[in-house]
C-alpha cells in the first residue's frame, strides 16, 4: 500500500523558515515525480511545487518562487520542502502527493496524497 | 489563483443526479489538456475520482462520470448517496503559467 507521511509543520513567525518532510513507502520512490499542494483554512487547493523522479528538474508556483525549495533524497524515500521568508498567506495544510509519471507532464495527476501537515505563519 | 471556475455548491436529494461544471479557457482545458477530478471528504486529504477526463480508478463507483467539451468539463454523480457529501475539485494544466497544474475553485456537494 502506498503511504505518504508528512511532518515538520507548526507555528512560525512571519519571515521565518520551516522544512517539511514527506516519508514515502509502498512504491519505488525514485520512479515518480512528487509534488506539494497546499490548502489554506476553508479554501481550495493550490499546487505549490514539484520535482522530477531524478530530482534534476524542479517547478514552482509563482506565489512561492524564490522563497521555497523542493528537494528529494531517493536513498531515504523522502521528499522535502524548505520554506523561507514565510508570510501569513502561506498558512495552510501542506499535502505531499505522488505524481503518476516520472516527469512533470501536463497530462498526469496526483495519486495518492498524504494526510497533510499544518503550517501556521503568525506572530 | 484559480483559473478553473466551479459552482460553489450543488445539492440534491438521495437518488438524484447532480452535475458539477469546471470552466476554463484556451490556455488550459480549451488547449486540450486533460481534466482530473478529486473528492475531498470532510477532514481528509483529496482522493482521485476521475482521471484523463472520463476514466475511473478501480474502486470508484460507476455513479461518478466525467466529460470534457471545448473549454469546460463536467462531473456527474447519478444516484446521489449520503456518503457523496464532500468537496470536489477539477484539475488541469495551464500553458500560460510556468509548470503549473491548476485546480478549480471547488464545489461542495450537499445531500438533502
The dihedral sign for the CA sequence A61, B2, B87, B67: negative
- In degrees, rounded to 5, the angle at the alpha carbon of residue B54 between the alpha carbons of residues A93 and B57 is 60
Are the CB atoms for A12 and A121 separated by under 8 Å? yes
pLDDT of residue B1: 60
Segment A82-101 shows an average pLDDT of 97
| Contact list, A115 vs chain B (CB under 8 Å) | 44-45
Q: Kindly indicate the confidence band of residue B30, based on its pLDDT and cuts at 50, 70 and 90.
A: very high
Answer whether residue B99 shows pLDDT above 80. Answer: no
Interface residues of chain B, partner chain A, Cβ below 8 Å: 1-2, 33-34, 36, 38, 44-48, 51-52, 57, 89, 91, 93, 95, 97-106
* Measured distance CA(B26)–CA(B33) in Å, rounded: 10
Of A22, A41, A26, residue with least CA distance to A122: A41
Cα distance between residue B101 and residue A73, in whole Å: 23
Cβ–Cβ gap A109/B51 under 8 Å: yes
pLDDT score, position B2:
81
The 10s digit of each residue's pLDDT in A4-59 is: 999 999 999 999 999 999 999 999 999 999 999 999 999 999 999 999 999 999 99
A60 touches chain B (CB under 8 A): yes
Interface test with A, best of B101, B105, B106 (most A CBs within 10 A): B101
Minimum Cα–Cα distance from B87: chain A residue: A44
CB contacts, 8 Å: B3 with chain A:
none
Amino acid at each position: 500500500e502506498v503511504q505518504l507521511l508528512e511532518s515538520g509543520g507548526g507555528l512560525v513567525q512571519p519571515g521565518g523558515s520551516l522544512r517539511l518532510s514527506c516519508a514515502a513507502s509502498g512504491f519505488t520512490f525514485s520512479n515518480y515525480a512528487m509534488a506539494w499542494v497546499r490548502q489554506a483554512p476553508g479554501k481550495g487547493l493550490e499546487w505549490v511545487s514539484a520535482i522530477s523522479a531524478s530530482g534534476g528538474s524542479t517547478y514552482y508556483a509563482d506565489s512561492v518562487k524564490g522563497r521555497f525549495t523542493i528537494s528529494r533524497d531517493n536513498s531515504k524515500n523522502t521528499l522535502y520542502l524548505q520554506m523561507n521568508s514565510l508570510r501569513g498567506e502561506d498558512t495552510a495544510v501542506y499535502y505531499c502527493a505522488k505524481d503518476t509519471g516520472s516527469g512533470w507532464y501536463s497530462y498526469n495527476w496526483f495519486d495518492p496524497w498524504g494526510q497533510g501537515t499544518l503550517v501556521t505563519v503568525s506572530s | 489563483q484559480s483559473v478553473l471556475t466551479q459552482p460553489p455548491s450543488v445539492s440534491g436529494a438521495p437518488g438524484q443526479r447532480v452535475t458539477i461544471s469546471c470552466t476554463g479557457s484556451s490556455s488550459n482545458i480549451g488547449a486540450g489538456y486533460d481534466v482530473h477530478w478529486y473528492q475531498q471528504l470532510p477532514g481528509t486529504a483529496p482522493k482521485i475520482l476521475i482521471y484523463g477526463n472520463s476514466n475511473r480508478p478501480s474502486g470508484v463507483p460507476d455513479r461518478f462520470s466525467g466529460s470534457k467539451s471545448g473549454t469546460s468539463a463536467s462531473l456527474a454523480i447519478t444516484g446521489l448517496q449520503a456518503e457523496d457529501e464532500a468537496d470536489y475539485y477539477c484539475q488541469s494544466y495551464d500553458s500560460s503559467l510556468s509548470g503549473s497544474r491548476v485546480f478549480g475553485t471547488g464545489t461542495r456537494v450537499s445531500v438533502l
